[in-house]
Amino acid sequence: MSTEMRLGDDGDISGTASQQDKKRPFLDALVSILKSKTSLIGLIIIVLLLLVAVFAPLLAPSNPISGGDLFNRYKGPSADHWLGTDELGRDILSRLIYGTRISIQVGIIAVGIALVIGTFLGAISGFFGRWIDMIVMRIVDILMSFPSILLAIAIVAVMGKGLTNTMIAVGIVGIPQFARIVRSSVLSVKETEYVEAARAVGAKSYRVLFRHVLPNCLAPIIVQTTLSIGTAILDAAGLSFLGLGAQPPKPEWGAMLDAGRAALQTAPWVVIFPGLAILVTVLGFNLLGDGLRDALDPRTKK
Where do the domains of the chain lie?
92-300
Report the b/e string of 28-54 with b at 16+ CB within 10 A. Answer: ebeebbeebeebeebbebbeebeebbe
Q: Tell me which CATH homologous superfamily contains domain 92-300.
A: MetI-like (1.10.3720.10)
Task: Indicate the SS3 state at residue 203.
Answer: coil
Q: Is 192 left (phi over 0), alpha (psi -120 to 50) or beta?
A: beta
Residue 6's pLDDT band, with cuts at 50, 70 and 90, is very low
Q: What percent of the chain has pLDDT over 90?
A: 52
State how far the Cα of 287 lies from the Cα of 39, in Å rounded to an integer: 5
CA distance from start to end of the chain: 19
Q: Which one-letter DSSP state was computed for residue 149? A: H
Name which of 23-27, 221-225, 243-247, 280-284 the model is least confident about.
23-27
Asked if the model's pLDDT at residue 15 lies above 50, the reply is no
State how far the Cα of 209 lies from the Cα of 124, in Å rounded to an integer: 8
Instruction: Note the pLDDT of residue 296.
Output: 72
Q: Using only C-alpha atoms, what is the Rg of the chain?
A: 23
C-alpha dist (Å) from residue 135 to 115, 142, 146, 210: 19, 11, 18, 21
Instruction: Note the pLDDT of residue 72.
Output: 86
Most confident range (mean pLDDT) of 16-30, 66-80, 224-238, 282-296 is 224-238
Instruction: Note the pTM of the prediction, 2 decimals.
Output: 0.85
Instruction: Note the pLDDT of residue 164.
Output: 93
pLDDT one-digit tens code per residue, 238-283: 999 999 998 888 999 999 999 888 888 889 999 999 999 999 999 9
Instruction: Note the pLDDT of residue 217.
Output: 86
C-alpha dist (Å) from residue 95 to 102, 129, 158, 191: 11, 49, 29, 52
Instruction: Note the pLDDT of residue 16.
Output: 37
Asked if the model's pLDDT at residue 228 lies above 90, the reply is yes
Residue 282 C-beta-side C-alpha neighbours within 13 Å: 15
pLDDT one-digit tens code per residue, 139-184: 999 999 988 889 999 999 999 999 999 999 999 999 999 999 999 9
Asked if the model's pLDDT at residue 101 lies above 50, the reply is yes
- Give the chain's mean pLDDT: 85
Among candidate residues 3, 279, 13, 236, the one with its CA nearest the CA of residue 113: 236
Residue 188's pLDDT band, with cuts at 50, 70 and 90, is confident
Instruction: Note the pLDDT of residue 211.
Output: 80
Q: Which one-letter DSSP state was computed for residue 130? A: H
Asked if the model's pLDDT at residue 17 lies above 50, the reply is no
